[in-house]
Structure formats: structure tokens, C-alpha cells
Amino acid sequence: MAGARVYEVNMQQFELIAPCHFGMESVVKNEIYDLGYDISAVDDGRISFIGDAEAIARANINLRTAERVLLKVGSFHAKTWEDLFQGTLALPWEEYLPRESRFWVTKAASVKSQLFSPSDIQSVMKKAMVERMKRKYLIDHFPETGSPYPVRVFIKKDEVTCAIDTTGDSLHKRGYRLKGVKAPIAENLAAGLLMLTPWKPGRILVDPFCGSGTFIIEAALMAAHIAPGLRRHFTAEEWTNLIPSSVWADAREEAEEQIDLSVETDLQGYDIDPAAIAAARENARLAGVEKLIHFQTRSVEALSHPKKYGFIVTNPPYGERLSGDNLTGRIDDAQDAEDVRDLSGLSELYKTLGRRFAALDSWSMYVITSYDRCEQDLGLKAAKNRKLYNGMLKTYFYMFPGPKPQSRNRKGKESMPGQ
């Protein structure tokens, strides 16, 4: 297993589940493979894999594109409330939950199933868990004063999957985003979109609508090999019955050893709003990558770069308050987009982006947006587009790949790839 360390602790194998944005399954799967773990199942919005206590720590600290890491307790078929109660009762909760633990069903989701009321699912499962624990621990009352063990349940086509959340706050919360500063894209989605492009650390990357800097900061974290969860806390760190504190310490030490802040980068973020640029700079400082990024207050009309083969990866406005020269507004949810959409302003914005992109030499561009005239106004036909959900908003990731850089043969002469 890549990067694995040896522990004289319980090396029990678990089935772990990494939920993710729909459309990001292949990216998360590759990340898990890169960590050295075997995939057991791939479903819409979920990747399951096999790992031990170390895997729980390493996955939480290192995965850039997953939502969280769940420890699967079991699954069963249920069409009635009695089925749900008995199925939950049959699961070995005592193998995971100490007698003093705090346990509850924090989230229930149901798709194409007979049981669909989240609150009722939560209530029935909690009762069954308590009953199981009473029988195993031979007590009638649980003080629930110990460590938290939040349970999540997915029901799809009447198949119930029960898991304990090892993460806590979603993995997209890296800890570098300023409080009170809203951003139009989550950190893990931004990282996943970057991974869907051919961009690699060391190549030019520009975001002309950078806002609070998410795309560029995530790129800098990748370039410097900084694990996204290195500076935050995870719920499972309190589970000393399953994961010794030494496992977390060694997983963090392993991640620290990978950091390289001496890497050369060309990462640039622009926005016409000075407040957005100020927030982006502070976010980059909090992430520890401020020296790897150039942020500047600049409108899209001024987009330029002297070098070839760069990348634009950006999340332009979808439809918001646009007036005069202020073309930088962001939406917070789908309702806002419908309420304040200004299509005329958007059209000119995308046309400007298309013109500035055309003036760049051999560049590639990747755009996530819900604006349905994206290709028309950019004046480009996407080689591919991928449907994704940014929050609850349906968007498309438009891909406009440019030519590959010329390579050099052994004599130092330039040749095109394949020659």
C-alpha cells in the first residue's frame, strides 16, 4: 500500500464509503487508488473501498474531492418500518459504539424506496440501535456522554446502507476560507474540476473570475503537495476504541513530509472586485500558499498572458445583478439566479471572455456554468461538456482543450507529440 506504515494495533478491515458530487466518481476513485486502497463498489455519488484504521485517517486527511469518509456498518432490504427496525437491530453496532458513546442518525436519504420520510427513518433506526445496545451491554439507559458517532443512512430501491460518519464537517471545509465570505463553488468540487482537465502543477493556470480564490488556491495546494485536511479536526479522532491517536499523528506526519513550497508555479487569479481579491489573498495566506499565487484586481477585458499553452479554469457569473462595468456578481442559490438574472449583461460578459481567450496563444479553457448560451456567446464549440451539480444548481462543465505543448527530442529540437 502506497505510503503505508506498520502499527501494532487493531488492523481490522472496514468497508469505507466516500460520498462525492455526482459526476465526480471517477476522480474520487482515482484518488483512492493513489492512496493504495482497493475499490469495492462504485455508485452514483459514492465510492466504496476497503481499508483499516489507518485508511480512515489517511483518506480524511488526503482526499481532495470526496465529501466525507463513512464507515459502513451494514446493509439490508427494507420495505416496511418493521423491516427497517429489525434490519437495524441485527447490525453489530456494539462493535463500533462504546457503551458511553453519543449516537444518533444525523442524516437519512431515500431514493425510489417505500420508506421515504427522513424524520421517521431516523426515529425508527435510533430506537433499534438503542435496543441492540441494551441487549449487548445489559443496561437500560445510555448516558451518551462519550465521543460522538453520527450515523448516516442511504436507502435506494429499498436497499438500506448504514454507516458512521468519520469526518464531521464536510471535507470541502479545508479551514482556509474566511468566515462570512461566500464563494460560488465548494473547495472539493473545484479540486475535482481541476483534476478533470489536463492541467498539471507547473503549468500556467488563470482564473479571470476568481472571487475568493478557490480554484487557484486548490491548484496551489496540489502543486505544493499540501494535504487538504492537514490542519483540521475529524470526528473519528475521538474514536480511540477503533483508531489510536498514534494513527492520526503518523498520517499527519506522512502528509507533512510531502509538502514542497519551493515548487515553481504560474497561478493567477483576477477579479474586478477589490474586496474579492482581498479575501482571496487572505484565504491563500490561511492555506499557506500565498507565495505561490498572484492575485490582481483586473477585469476580464484585460485578460492576457505572454506565454503559450496555459489554462483558464473558471466559474463565471451564471445570472445575477450585473450593471455597467460591474460584471463580477455571484449567486448563492438557484432562486437568486432566477430572481435577478440579467441575460444581456451575461451575454456581453461571455463574449468578452471568448474574445480574450481567442487572443491567447494555444491555450485551453474549462468553464463551469448554468448559463445555457455559454458556447454561443463564447463563440466556441466545446469538445465535451459534463453535467454537474454545484450545490443544488444544475451546471455544465464545458471543455475547450487547446493544442498540446511541443515536446523536445533527444537532440533538443522541438517536435510535435507523436513525432
Residue 2 has pLDDT above 80, yes or no: no
Q: Render pLDDT for 177-205 as a digit per residue (tens, 0 to 9).
A: 886 666 689 999 999 999 999 999 999 99
Residue 98 has pLDDT above 70, yes or no: yes
Examine the domain organization and report whether 216 and 107 are in the same domain.
no
pLDDT for 409 equals 53
| 232 belongs to a structural domain | no
Examine the domain organization and report whether 20 and 154 are in the same domain.
yes
pTM above 0.85, yes or no: yes
Spatial distance between the Cα atoms of 151 and 122, rounded to a whole number of angstroms: 9
Examine the domain organization and report whether 340 and 257 are in the same domain.
yes
Examine the domain organization and report whether 134 and 254 are in the same domain.
no
Q: Render pLDDT for 161-174 as a digit per residue (tens, 0 to 9).
A: 999 999 999 999 99
pLDDT for 415 equals 42
**Is residue 343 very low, low, confident or very high in pLDDT (cuts 50, 70, 90)?**
low
| 46 belongs to a structural domain | yes
Spatial distance between the Cα atoms of 306 and 302, rounded to a whole number of angstroms: 13
Whose CA is closest to 148, among 175, 166, 129, 130?
Answer: 166
Structural domain total, the chain = 2
| 137 belongs to a structural domain | yes
Q: Dump strand ranges (E) for 251-382.
A: 267-271, 293-297, 311-314, 364-369
Spatial distance between the Cα atoms of 81 and 7, rounded to a whole number of angstroms: 42
Q: Render pLDDT for 223-232 as a digit per residue (tens, 0 to 9).
A: 999 999 999 9
Which is more confident, 183 or 409? 183
Examine the domain organization and report whether 160 and 99 are in the same domain.
yes
User: What percent of the chain stands above pLDDT 70?
Assistant: 87
Examine the domain organization and report whether 212 and 358 are in the same domain.
yes
CATH code where residue 62 lies: 3.30.2130.30
Alpha-carbon torsion 319, 322, 327, 329, what sign?
negative
Which of 10-24, 67-81, 319-333 bottoms out in mean pLDDT, i.e. has the lowest?
319-333
Examine the domain organization and report whether 120 and 153 are in the same domain.
yes
| 332 belongs to a structural domain | yes
pLDDT for 10 equals 52
Please compute the mean of the pLDDT values over residues 244-266 and round it to a whole number: 98
Distance from CA of residue 85 to its chain's centroid? Answer: 33
| 159 belongs to a structural domain | yes
Examine the domain organization and report whether 287 and 369 are in the same domain.
yes
Q: Render pLDDT for 269-304 as a digit per residue (tens, 0 to 9).
A: 999 999 999 999 999 999 999 999 999 999 999 999
Examine the domain organization and report whether 99 and 137 are in the same domain.
yes
pLDDT for 183 equals 67
Examine the domain organization and report whether 222 and 134 are in the same domain.
no
Examine the domain organization and report whether 209 and 295 are in the same domain.
yes
Whose CA is closest to 328, among 368, 358, 300, 354?
Answer: 300
What DSSP character marks residue 291?
Answer: G
The answer to whether 396 and 386 are in contact (CB under 8 A) is: yes
| 417 belongs to a structural domain | no
Spatial distance between the Cα atoms of 219 and 225, rounded to a whole number of angstroms: 10
Spatial distance between the Cα atoms of 136 and 97, rounded to a whole number of angstroms: 11
User: What are the backbone dihedrals phi and psi of residue 36, each rounded to the nearest 5 degrees, phi first?
Assistant: 100, 20
CATH code where residue 211 lies: 3.40.50.150
Domain that holds residue 402: 187-227+244-408
Q: In the numeric block, which cell numbers belong to residue 150?
A: 453520527
Examine the domain organization and report whether 161 and 194 are in the same domain.
no
pLDDT for 342 equals 55
What DSSP character marks residue 12?
Answer: -
